[in-house]
Structure 1
C-alpha cells in the first residue's frame, strides 16, 4: 500500500496542504491515513517496519543532540520530573472521575490503565517545539534551551518505559555490551572524523543506530530503542554530531510518515472517540499552566516561563508511541489510541498560532503573569547593565562577529555585542570580545536599559529572524533612540520591509558577501596589476 501511486499522491497532498497553513505535515499524514482507511486500505508489515525504522532513527538523532551537562540544571531535570509527576497524578484523577461518572468509554478504566493514559499525555512534542524554535531562531535562548532540555528528559522517560514495558530480562552479556561502550565511543569518534560527507556519512549513521545501538542491545535482552538513544548520546560531544543528525533528518522524517499513517489506517474514530479527544484537548490549558507554574518556581521570569510552557503545552508523538505499545500489549483499546492521535493533531492546530503570537499575548497579560514571579532571579536572567558603548551589535553569529571585529579594529573598544546563546557568549568572552548575555526580544530588557542609552550612535541587527528584527526596531523607536540602525536581510524583499520599519541601512547579506570577497581579494592583491596578470595567464 505504501508504494501505491494514489496513496502517495493523497499523503503528499494532505501533508502539503496542512504545511501551507503553518502546521506540521504529520497532521496531514494522520488525515491521509483516516481517508485511506475509508477506502479499504489497512496497515501491514511493510508500513509497520517503516514506522519502526523511523522511530529508531528519531531516537538516535535525539541522542546526538543530548548534552548531559545541560540536563543537570534544576529547571530542566527537576522541572521535567515534577511536571510529569503532577500531570500524571492530576490526569489520572480526572480519568478515574470520568470512569466513576459512568461514561461508556471510561467505564472499563482501572487505576493502572488511567495512569498509563495520563503518562502518555504528559509528554510534549519534540518535533513541534524544534520546528517553532528553528523558525524563530531562538533555539539557543533560555526558553529554547530549557524547552529542549525538558524534552530530552521526557524522551529518556519514554525510552525507559519502552525498555521495561516489554518484560525482556537482559542477559549476562548485557554487562559486556555496556562495558564495551567506552571503547566503541573512542573508535566511532575517530571514524566520524574521517568519514567525510555524503552517502557514506548517512550509511555510518544507520550503522550506529541499527547495528552498534539497536541490534547490539536487542541480542543481549535490552530494548533496541534504548540502544539507539545511548549510541547517539555517546557521540553527542563530537564536533560533527549535529552534521550527522542533519544528514539523517530527511530520511527520518520520511520514514516517520509510516508511523503517523499507521495510526490513521486504524480507522475513522467514532463520535464517542471524538468526544474523548475533545476532553483531552480541554485538558491542554491545565498542562500548560503546570509548566508555567513549575518554571516560575525555579526563578525563571514570567515571560520566559510562559514562552517555554507554550512550547511544551501540546501533546506528543512519543505519547502515540507509548500508546501504540500499550495497544500492542493489550493494555489499551484502539479507540483510545485514535483519541490521543486526534487530540495531538488538535493541540498542534491550537499551539502553532499561539506560539507565533506569544510576544503579543505576553504584553497583554504582563501584569497578571508577573504575579507568579519569585523575588530571586535565575542566574541567566540577572538585570542588564550597559556601559558607555557607541556601537551595539545584536546577534553575535558569524555576521555579527565579523561586524564587531571590523568596528573594533577601526574605532577601538567602543563596540558591545549582545546575544542570547550562553555558550556563544562564553566563547566570545574567552576571545577577548565585549559581549553580554541578554534576550533583546524580551520587552523587560528595553525597560531596564540605563538612561545613558543616548550615547549609542549605531545599532546593528544581525539576527536571522525578520520578526525579531522588526520587534527590536519597534522597541528602539519607542525609546526615542536618535542614532542609526542597520540590519542584515536574507532576501531582497526583507530589505524593503526593514527600511519601511525605520531601519536606516539594510542589505542582503548574501549579495554583500560577494562584494566583501571581491574587496578582500583586492586588498590582499594590492600593488599588483590584475589586468596584466590576466593577460599573462591567457598567454
Structure 2
C-alpha cells in the first residue's frame, strides 16, 4: 500500500534534483535513503519487479546497439582485464592492511576480502548508459569504448554468479546456439510489428523471453536479454525499437535506484567503511585514463570514457549479494557496498556532466599523455573547402544537406559520429566526415573563419547548446541554425544568437509547402 507514497516521493526528489542541475536519478537514490531513515520503509515486491524489468530492458537495449566487431577489439579486453586485475589487487591489499585497525574488517577471512575487492572492481552499466543518453553521446567513440568495457565486465560477473550459485549450465545449454539462425525470422517479425504498440510489445517480449529462456538453461537471465538484443539488432528498425523502449526502460529503472536507497544505512562501523570505500574509488578514472592513452586512444576519448567508468556497479552489488547467500560474505556487507555505490554515483554524475568543459579547460594537461600515433577513427580531419557544415546526419540533417547542395555545390560537409550512419551516407556519395561536434579538438582542426553557416541537427538539446557555446567560445562569428523541439528550447537558442527551428511546430508549414510546390509543378507540366 505504501508503493504510491514511494513513487510520489521519488517524483518530488527527482524534480528537486533536476531543478538544482543534477540528474533525477540522484533524487531517486536520495528519496530511498530518506524514506528508509524516516519511515523505516523497504523495497516491496512491486518495486523489486520494476527494478528487475529495468535492468533487463537496459541490457536488451544495449544489445540492440552493440557492434560485435567493436567488442572483439583486443584493446577493450586488455583495458578491462588489466584494470580489473589491478583493482582487485589494490582494493584487496588495502583492506588487508586496514584489517587490524577497523572493526568492520575484523573477523573477515581472506576469501571475503577478495570477494569484496572483486565486487568493487566493476563499473556501472546503468549509470554510464544514462549519462551518455542524457548528453546525446551514445554514438560517440568514447561511449562505445566505455560500453564495451562494461559489457565485458558484465560477462565476467555473469560467469562468477553462475559458478558461485552452483547453477552450472548443462550440455543442453548449447541448444541456445540455435537462436543464431533465428535472427532473420526475428527481423521479419520486427518489420511486421509496424510502428505502434506492437513494436514496444515485441521488444518487451524479446527482452523478458530471452532472460527467461537463458534462466531455464541455468544461464544468467541478464545475459539472455543482452544476447536477444544483439540478435534483434542490426535490422533497419532496431534503432526505432530502441527509441520506442527508451521511456519504458527509464521508468522501470527508477525502481533500481529506489531499491539501493531503500536498503537503508549500515551500522556506524560499517558506515565508516562505506565512506572509505567511496573515497577509494578516486583511483579508477586515473588508471583507466593511463591504460587508454597507453593504447593510443586520444586524450579526450580516454578522459570521457574513464570518467563514465568512475563509479561502482550494480553488478558488484549483485555479486556481493550472491556471495552473501553462499556464505562467502557477511550479509551486512551488501548494505555497505550499496552505500559505497550510492556515494560513487553522487561523485560521478556531476563530474560527468562537466567532463567536456573539464577537458576544454585543461586540454594542455591531458594531451601530455597522448601517443603521437592515432588509431583508426581518431585521425585529424580535413574538410577541404566546405563553407557549410551540417552537424548530425540523421533524417533531419540528411534533408538539410540535400536541400543546401543546390546553393552550395561542392561546399557543404556533413559531420557524423556514428560509424554505421557515416558509412551509409558515404555510399550515397555525400561529403561526410567522422567527428564529434562537442569535441574541442575537432574544431581546433578547422578554420572557422572560412565557414559561413553551421546547421546543428543533433538529437539532444543539451548537446546542441553545448556545441553552440563551444564554437562561440572559439570565436566563430558566422551564422548558426539549430533544430529545437519545444518553445523553451527555441528561446534558449535565440538568446545565444542562433536561428532556431521548431521541428514540431514547423512540420505543418513544411508539409504544406512541399505539397504546394508539387501541385505547382503538376499544373505547369
Segment of structure 1 superposing worse, 308-317 or 459-468: 459-468
Aligned counterparts of 2:330 and 2:84: Cα–Cα separation in 1 = 23
1:536 equivalent in structure 2: none
485, 489, 498: which one aligns with 2:484: 489
Matched, 1:120 2:119: yes
Q: Give how far 1:431 is off.
A: 0.6
Counterpart Cα distance in 2 of 1:478 and 1:205: 43
What is the CA–CA distance in structure 2 between the aligned matches of 1:285 and 1:194, rounded to whole Å?
A: 49
Moved more, 224-233 or 428-437: 224-233
Given that residues 83 and 287 in structure 2 are in contact (C-alpha distance below 8 angstroms), is that contact kept between their aligned partners in structure 1? yes
Query: How far apart are residue 243 of structure 1 and its match?
Result: 4.0
How much does 1:178 deviate? 2.8
Structure 2 counterparts to residues 277-296 of structure 1, below 5 A: 277-296=274-293
1:533 aligned partner: none
Q: Which moved more, 1:290-299 or 1:375-384?
A: 375-384
Contact 1:16 1:28 in 2 (8 A): no
Identify the residue that residue 315 of structure 1 maps to in structure 2: 312
Is the Cα–Cα contact under 8 Å of residues 160 and 226 in structure 1 kept in the other structure? no
Once the two structures are TM-superposed, the CA of residue 313 in structure 1 deviates from its matched residue by 0.6
Question: 2:62 aligns to what?
Answer: 62
3-state SS of paired residue (2:414)? strand
Question: How far did residue 40 of structure 1 move?
Answer: 5.1
Q: CA deviation at 1:261?
A: 4.6
SS in 2 for 1:379: coil
Q: How many residues align?
A: 523
Deviation track 1:389-431 (CA, whole Å, cap 9, x = no partner) reads: 2222222222222121112133422211222222222211111
Q: 1:521 Cα deviation (Å)?
A: 0.6
Q: 1:456 to 1:174 in 2, by over 3 A?
A: closer
Query: Using the alignment, how far apart are the partners of 2:504 and 2:203 within structure 1?
Result: 32
In 2 relative to 1, CA 411–7 (structure 1 residues): closer, same or farther, beyond 3 Å?
closer
Moved more, 484-493 or 42-51: 42-51
> Following the alignment from structure 2 to structure 1, what is the Cα–Cα distance between the partners of residues 45 and 324?
16
> Which structure: larger Rg?
1
SS at 2:377 equivalent: helix
Secondary structure of the corresponding residue to residue 167 of structure 1 = coil
Would you say 1:346 and 2:340 are equivalent positions? no
Q: 1:456 aligns with which of 439, 451, 456?
A: 451
Partner Cα separation in structure 2 for residue 166 and residue 485 of structure 1: 58
Change (3 A) 1:166 1:376: same
Cα deviation, 1:202-231, whole Å, max 9, x if unaligned, reads 4444543444x3343334443444333333
What does residue 352 of structure 2 align with?
A: 355
Name which of structure 1's ranges 418-427 and 369-378 shifts more when overlaid on structure 2.
418-427
**Equivalent in the alignment of 2:25:** 25
> What is the alpha-carbon distance in structure 2 between the residues aligned to residue 136 and residue 365 of structure 1?
20
Higher mean C-alpha deviation, range 224-233 or range 51-60: 51-60
Cα separation, partners in 2 of 1:355 and 1:104, compared to 1, 3 Å: same
- Aligned partner of 2:86 in structure 1 is 86
* Alpha-carbon contact 2:388-2:408 (below 8 Å) kept: no
Counterpart of 1:508 (choices 495, 498, 502) is 502
Distance 1:33-1:210 versus aligned 2 partners, 3 A rule: same
Q: Distance in 1 between matches of 2:467 and 2:47?
A: 48
- CA apart distance, 1:250: 4.7
Unaligned runs of 5+ in 2: none
| Structure 1 counterpart of 2:399 | 402
TM-score under structure 1 length normalisation: 0.86
SS in 1 for 2:385: coil
The question of whether the paired residues in 1 share the 8 Å contact of 2:211 and 2:221 is answered with yes
CA contact (8 A) 1:14 1:31 kept: yes
Q: 1:242 to 1:395 in 2, by over 3 A?
A: closer
The residue aligned with 2:418 is: 421
Counterpart-to-counterpart distance in 2, 1:481 and 1:357 = 22
User: Which is worse superposed, 430-439 or 66-75?
Assistant: 66-75
Shift in Å, 1:523: 0.6
User: CA 1:244–1:446 in 2, change beyond 3 Å: closer, same or farther?
Assistant: closer
Which residue number in structure 2 is paired with residue 190 of structure 1? 188
C-alpha distance in 1 between matches for 2:342 and 2:283? 18
Structure 1: gaps spanning 5 or more residues: 530-539
Judge which range, 279-288 or 179-188, deviates more.
179-188
CA contact (8 A) 1:42 1:266 kept: yes
Q: Is the alpha carbon distance of 1:312 and 1:24 closer, same or farther for their aligned partners in structure 2, counting shifts above 3 Å?
A: farther
Cα distance change, pair 222–479 in 1 and its aligned pair in 2 (3 A)? closer
| Mapping of residues 137-176 of structure 1, within 5 Å | 137-175=136-174
More moved, 478-487 vs 269-278: 478-487
Equivalents in 2 of 1:50, 1:118: separation in Å? 29
The counterpart of 2:511, out of the listed 514, 517, 538, is 517
- Answer yes or no: is the 8 Å Cα contact 1:23–1:349 preserved in 2: no
TM-score by length of 2: 0.89
Offset of 1:161 from its aligned partner? Answer: 2.2
- Compared with structure 1, are the counterparts of its residues 492 and 106 closer, same or farther at alpha carbon in structure 2 (3 Å cutoff)? same
Q: Is the alpha carbon distance of 1:24 and 1:315 closer, same or farther for their aligned partners in structure 2, counting shifts above 3 Å? A: farther
2: CA distance, partners of 1:356 / 1:440 = 16
Task: Give the alignment's Cα RMSD to 1 decimal.
Answer: 3.0
Equivalent in 492, 498, 503 of residue 493 of structure 2: 498
Query: Cα offset for 1:45?
Result: 6.0
For each residue in 1:175-197, what CA deviation from the matched residue of structure 2 results, as whole angstroms up to 9, or x when unmatched?
A: 3x234223443443332232345
Cα shift readout 1:311-368 (whole Å, capped 9, x = no counterpart): 1111222222222222222222232222221122222222222122223322332222
Deviation of 1:62 (Å)? 3.4
Deviations 1:13-48 (A, max 9, x none): 445544544234366256426634764555566665
Asked whether the 8 Å contact 1:18–1:28 carries over to 2, the reply is no
Using a 3 Å threshold, how does the CA distance of structure 1 residues 464 and 266 change in structure 2: closer, same or farther?
Answer: closer
User: Contact 1:459/1:485 (CA < 8 Å) preserved in 2?
Assistant: yes
Which of 217, 226, 230 is the aligned partner of 1:229? 226
2:141 & 2:191 partners in 1: Cα distance? 31
Q: Following TM superposition, by how much is the alpha carbon of 1:507 offset from its aligned partner in structure 2, in angstroms? A: 2.8
| CA pair 500-245 structure 1, distance change in 2 beyond 3 A | closer
